Amino acid sequence: MSRDQVRIRLEPLALEIETPVGTQLIKALSGQGIEFPCGGTGTCGGCAVRVLSGSLPVTDPDRTAFLPEQLALGWRLACQARALMPLVLECCQWRMDVLTDDACLIGSGKHGLGIAIDLGTTTIAAQILDLATGKVLGVETELNPQASFGSDVMSRIRATLQGDDLTKMLRVLLGQLVMRLARGREPEVAEVILVGNTVMHHLFSGCDVEPLSHAPFVSPNLGGQTFCPQDLGWHLPSTCKIRFAPCLGGFVGSDILAGILATGIAQSDHLMAMVDLGTNGEIAIGNRFGIVCVSAAAGPAFEAGCIRMGMRAATGAISHVSLCGEEIHADVVGDVEPRGICGSGLVDAIAVGLRTGAILPSGRIANGTKLFPIAHPVVLCQADVRELQLAKGAIASGFKLLLKRLGATAGDLKSIHLAGAFGNYVQIESALRIGLLEAHRERVYAAGNTALRGAKMLLVASRESALPPIEHVSLATDIDFQDEFANCMRFPAADDHSQEAETYNNSKIADTRER
């Protein structure tokens, strides 16, 4: 990077841009899909950003647009600011609709109020409920404040090992969130439960993350952790019990434990699967006799993270792609000119490309230009398809190895539950077409935020529910993983026609060489 450029990272998309020092943010950000509804006059407040790292001075329009507390939290109007130093900004417009959960649970004899928190690497969702009735009384969502250190768990571990205090920032933010949920309510909050992956568990609890930074990734602190409000500096009654649920092993945390409870795998006579698609894809397969689970590093492709024209499902994003006869049809969020493509659109687009033969089962774009046009000006380039192949290869191979471990086949699965935001928005037909999952269409369900639902179940349960043995499988030590991963990177061939096209092209390469 040359000296007169500054780097800006935009959360929650983790998009990085470089711009000359002193550039107005309105110029730097409008190219990235951020909208300035009032044209940058500082009157509408639509371009609000929160400074997560670096600083932006408070301007007069900022004082009009925000409350003093909001200013203190770092909220500014992007249209009034310039990039003078490296910045990490949370973009209000990209603040994804953090998935919460509408399920109502039946209380089981407890009293008082309880709070369930799904502490995600990117997002946080929390609900307060009446323990006696199971009724949800309030919801709060937040972005994980650690995002300023990077979007994946490894970057958080690294920051911690380098001496940054990621525990305190998390406890402070969650303390405020808990306060907002509890404020003005009767009776008092009696219990709080948190679920999250192993790294979130360790960082919240203040456990040493060093063992998670290298093979064999075994930490001695996987168990549940209990706190009282004073330990955390939270303004709750001193009798309130705060618990972080136990991890299952490796990087598979209590969010998956909660998912297992929420989807009912632990009570099922038949084989069921749950796939939570995020930066880390977690998979659990089993029934009431036993469950195996795995964590597969999928990277950010399902969130369109490393895709050239990738963006959040915000205005201008292609969210769905379908075939109308021979023509490609694209749905654009907000019905405007397309500007980019989001995760669900990407999976659709590749499924369509496979159907038309524009993309070959090997992943090659067939037309020789290495570009696959979706809707002008949005195109997929060859590297975009490759990114998705890596992500889907990681999930699909993890899935296959778990089935193999159980001595089962995809046909034995009674149901497959897709958890998390991506699972909610992706078209299941497209996910099957690209080979992300091998399953009958009618057995695949979007399951929503299973981590939060399971956390609520843990909260209202009067005693710990009996679980079958849950075995954590490490992909890295599985000798078949590399072969399976390579196989799973290919897309399934639809029919003989596309296989023919592939063979034809391969022999053409060989021919060219011979000459």
Partner 1 sequence: MALSKELFDAILNGDAKRAHAATETALAEGAEPMQLIADSMVPAMDEVGKLFEAEEYFVPELLLAGRAMKSAMELIKPLLVASGQKMAVRVIIGTVKGDLHDIGKNIVASMLEGSGFEVIDLGADVSPEAFVAAVKERQPHIVCMSALLTVTMPAMKTTIDALSKAGVRTQVKVLLGGAPVTSQYAKEIGADGYSENANGAVGLVKSLLAVA
> For binding to partner 1 (CB under 8 A), which residues are involved?
154-155, 157-158, 161, 213-215, 362-364, 370, 382-383, 386, 389-390, 476-477, 482-483, 485-487, 489-490, 506, 509-510, 513-514
Amino acid at 295: S
Q: Which is nearer to partner 1, 112 or 357 (CB)?
A: 357
Q: Which residues contact 184 (CB under 8 A, 6 or more apart)?
A: none
Nearer to partner 1, 208 or 337 (CB): 208
Closest CA to 117 of 459, 424, 417, 463: 459
Q: What is the H or E stretch that residue 296 is in?
A: strand 290-297
Query: Smallest distance, Å, CB 114 to partner 1?
Result: 36
Say if residues 11 and 90 touch (Cβ distance below 8 Å): yes
* Residue number, 287 or 295, with CB nearest to partner 1: 295
Report, in Å, the least distance between residue 351 CB and partner 1. Answer: 18
Supply the minimum distance, in Å, between the C-beta of residue 506 and partner 1: 6
Q: Parallel, antiparallel, or unpaired for β 48-53 and 15-20?
A: unpaired
Residues 183 and 128: beta-carbon distance below 8 Å: no
CB of 7 to partner 1, least distance (A): 14
Q: How far is the CB of 386 from partner 1 (least distance, A)?
A: 6
The nearest distance, CB 115 to partner 1, in angstroms, is 32
- Following DSSP, what letter does each residue of 181-247 receive, concatenated? HHTT-SS-EEEEEEEE-HHHHHHHHT---GGGGSTT---S--S-EEE-HHHHT--S-TT-EEEEPPP
The string of DSSP codes covering 428-445 is HHHHHHTTS--S-GGGEE
Q: Which is nearer to partner 1, 409 or 482 (CB)?
A: 482
Beta carbon nearer to partner 1, 28 or 489? 489
Shortest gap between Cβ of 396 and partner 1 (angstroms)? 13
Please, which residue, 229 or 363, has the CB nearer to partner 1?
363
Q: How far is the CB of 294 from partner 1 (least distance, A)?
A: 14
474 Cβ contact partners less than 8 Å away, ≥ 6 residues apart? 216, 217, 250, 294
Strand 444-448 versus strand 413-419 pairing type: parallel
Are the C-beta atoms of 352 and 328 separated by less than 8 Å?
Answer: yes
Task: Answer positive or negative: Cα dihedral of 507, 513, 514, 515.
Answer: positive
Task: Name which of 30 and 505 has its Cβ closer to partner 1.
Answer: 505
The residue (of 424 and 505) whose beta carbon lies closer to partner 1 is 505
DSSP-derived letter for residue 146 is G
**Which residues, other chains included, contact 115 with Cβ-Cβ below 8 Å and sequence gap of 6+?**
126, 127, 128, 129, 178, 181, 182, 189, 191, 192, 193, 459
Smallest distance from partner 1 to CB 301, Å: 14
Half-sphere exposure of 382 (CA within 13 A, CB side): 9
Closest CB to partner 1 among 32 and 155? 155
Task: Report the alpha-carbon distance of residue 68 to residue 71 in Å, rounded.
Answer: 5
Q: How far is the CB of 85 from partner 1 (least distance, A)?
A: 20
